[in-house]
Structure 1
Amino acid sequence: MAVISMKELLEAGVHFGHQTRRWDPKMDEYIFTERNGIHIIDLQKTVKLVDEAYNFIRNASTDGANVLFVGTKKQASDAIAEEATRAGQYYINHRWLGGTLTNWNTIKTRIQRLKDLQTMAEDGTFEQLPKKEVVLLNKQREKLEKFLGGIQDMPGLPDVLFVVDPKKEEIAVKEANMLNIPVVAMIDTNANPDVVDVKIPANDDAIRAVRLITSKIADAVIEGRQGQDSAPEDAFVEGDENTESIEEIANIVEEGNN
């Protein structure tokens, strides 16, 4: 039983890749066809690979793994923060600061500074300071919250990264690779899949597509943490009415382009 249906993927636009001239040839095995200069992702493979990613995250979470959700482009920012929070995990959704993983000790000092400023704002310390100084401290706090708020309670280096668009998040992926931290990623037709451990071929530029996949990853964390074997009610079952053939999907795609 799969955790996601081809119908869900299609409705969210997960199948739309990039323009053919922008492709990475290493993504060839995940591409079904081309329509009007756009690569169409093979959703049958995506269904299976979402399963693999889900199981990987669920099993890691059962063992207590901490998952860092990363997606800094505007299409991903909200979903990354909301789904990571729902799963009780951590996130970076604005800008990846170089060295976040490889220079974790320095990042920890900035996180401590953020916590100190938050305490000062809450315990009345700011009320005893000159207004100009408070303005500067608040600006510093807001900036630190923007970039580090999603990881301020992360106890240490994450055990797994979930990334939306490894091409955009190249530095994050490189740091994870250097530290042998597994990377699970939504990867579009323009990116190199070799840098990712668990691949989810998908449109990583559409808000609905990003939210759909990210929500499944969050579900996997929650299920793993609960230690429950509960599949979504609307799960795709091989052989049921949702088992559209890739040819049928292609026809729908073609009709949508006319």
Structure 2
Amino acid sequence: MSSRLQSKVVIVTGGTSGMGEAAVRRLAGEGATVVIGARDKARGEAVVAEISADGGKAAFVPTDVTREEDVARLVDFAVSEFGALHGAFNNAGGGNSQGSIREMDASFWESVVSLNLTSVFYSLKHEIPAIIASGGGSIVNNASVVGAAGDPSAVAYSAAKHGVVGLTRSTALDAAKDGVRVNALLTGLVNTPLWQGFTASNPEAANSILSQQPTGRSADVGEIAAFTAFLLSDESRFISGAALAIDGALTAGY
């Protein structure tokens, strides 16, 4: 594996499972020092131990991304412990279908927006100054294909992910002259533990979803991680403010 991220310090939120964990392992494998922010302390420490055993560098900070003080502490730890911050993969999030907006509880809306949009606001607010002070770098926000088109079965989640795309574009413009790039991933169907659990319990529904995929398959988490590593590296230094689909051509038909 390349060493294109050598000497870079990178934060990954939601880095204890799925796309986040795959990104942590990929980034560490390419030479980055990775600071994991997530709620699962046992799993976070286990991932750090495995990376360290393989010769990589990583640390874990218990983080609830819906709390600004936790996000601020995560960024402060990266800078104080490793001397700089050069990048971030703001990956933490999640959502469930909730039916029509006419039946949606306000508390559900607030919880989904807090986890998927406000958390990214907190992350960018604290990461950007630290990255500027470190000489510039790159941030990747994990949005979703439902950040590019509506979904009547996931209204709150779709609205939040549309917000992530808008936040990405606006902050990319705001920070461009300071040497900070900001991009969003429009991820499609990915073979995460969540998807595997859904497939096991709802095989017919899973097959129906898969039938709508132009490629006929889900993405491997490693494919998302590889693209994230590219966007966090200097090889992508002229890419900023973009919402980049990594979805097997799904949004090509939107």
TM-score band, normalised by the shorter chain? 0.3 to 0.5
> Which is higher, the Rg of structure 1 or of structure 2?
1
Give TM-score, length-normalised by structure 1: 0.37
Give TM-score, length-normalised by structure 2: 0.37
> Which structure has more RCO (C-alpha within 8 Å, separation ≥ 6)?
1
